[in-house]
Amino acid sequence: MAENDSELSRNIIGFVDDSVSEQIIVTTIDKMGLPHSSVFRGGVMDVVDFLKKNKPPKILIIDVSELELPVGEVAKIKEYAAPDVNFIIIGGRNEVGLFRDFMDIGVIDYLVKPLSIDLVQRAIEGVDVARRSITRKSGKLVYFANSVGGAGATTTAVNVGWLLSNRYFKRTVVIDTDFCYGSAHLLMDIRAESSYVKALGSFDKIDDYFVDTFLKRYDQRLFYLDGLLDLNDDDTVNAEAFGTLVSYIKEGFNYVLVDSKRQPCSANEISMNLADIFVLMVEMSVASVQNSVRVLQFLYSRYPTKKIIVVANRIGMSSSGALSKESFEEVIARKIDYVMPHDDRMPLASANIGQPLASINCAMTSSLESIAEDILGKTDYLRIGKNLGKNTSAVLDKIKSIFKKK
């Protein structure tokens, strides 16, 4: 069984069920002079266990010759691997249909036993060629935004990130695009620096070394990318370099969670264009509902096919001027997907010690879990929104009419 060596960037990891195949792959790796490569005896569960505890390799070789439903098992394994992992599968059946089924789920090559050194070497050497001939896969980017300041985007992004990485074993990175006042690092007890933002200003090449240098690890699968600049510094980021960096990170992580800056900036624009899912945090105030309509109209028009999740925070907090959930939904012309109950103690307590709320049992945990499952695609229902209110005054008139009914 493979030992935990999560800090090591592996080139090749193999799991086989017989000593002959093991020796052939080891000999091939030695012949090709590939460092940081290992072969182990083990099956599907051993592969999954390795991926849960270690940084995924560039190439993963898996022996499925003893499995009755190998394609389904490999598909399950891919759920635990980063999008840029290249799969080479070893089997015992020389069937064209099986080969095509593996290609359909993104496997690079399928080798049939008995193996030979030349056969394994050609498969390894063909990885780069095969990757260029197929659609490159990448992880999902989730963009978190507040309708008003303090609506909970940072707290939600960090805690959903913890759930994705610790409950569902997804490689996840949280990126804070507020380079002056970002606070996501405080919730993770990570020291903020400005080095990567400054490095992007004169970037030459975005590669594994660049990413590994500036990413900060919270735990085995959760990482953080910050860029907290001095207030005297210009917070304008090199847009081209930032876009290249985020796209590169998406290939190596299952989920990239962007905690966005409230003010428009190039980092936000790039992140929105790369986003797969938007999470809008709202609260039951007039300012929030006004801004929510504007944000939703913008997203509907700019990204009509992308999922938008609306989360209401601080539900239950006493306020005489608060809108009801039903009134809020009437104005934004769609349902609020999830509500976060108000808790005036636990969020502050967890922030003070840098421990994510999701790691403890509190009133907000269930809502955070539901949001994480929605992002994972485990919740599937139609969200209908329509373009309500052509201008700010129309929205305010709608709000006033709701209050007059009370």
Two domains, one topology: 12-133 and 140-405:
yes
Would you list the domain boundaries of the chain? 12-133, 140-405
pLDDT at 212 over 60: yes
2 falls in which pLDDT band (50, 70, 90)? very low
Yes or no: say if 280 and 296 are a contact pair by the CB < 8 Å rule: yes
Quote the percentage of the chain above a pLDDT of 70. Answer: 85
pLDDT at 3 over 60: no
* Mean pLDDT score, 65-71: 92
Q: Which range has the top average pLDDT, 7-21, 228-242, 280-294?
A: 280-294
pLDDT at 384: 47
What's the whole-number average pLDDT of the chain? 86
pLDDT at 398 over 70: no
At the fourth CATH level, the homologous superfamily of domain 140-405 is P-loop containing nucleotide triphosphate hydrolases (3.40.50.300)
pLDDT at 4 over 70: no
pLDDT at 338: 95
Minimum mean pLDDT range among 127-136, 277-286, 365-374, 378-387: 378-387
pLDDT at 396 over 80: no
pLDDT at 390 over 60: no
At the fourth CATH level, the homologous superfamily of domain 12-133 is Response regulator (3.40.50.2300)
Minimum mean pLDDT range among 117-131, 150-164, 291-305: 117-131
pLDDT at 9: 56
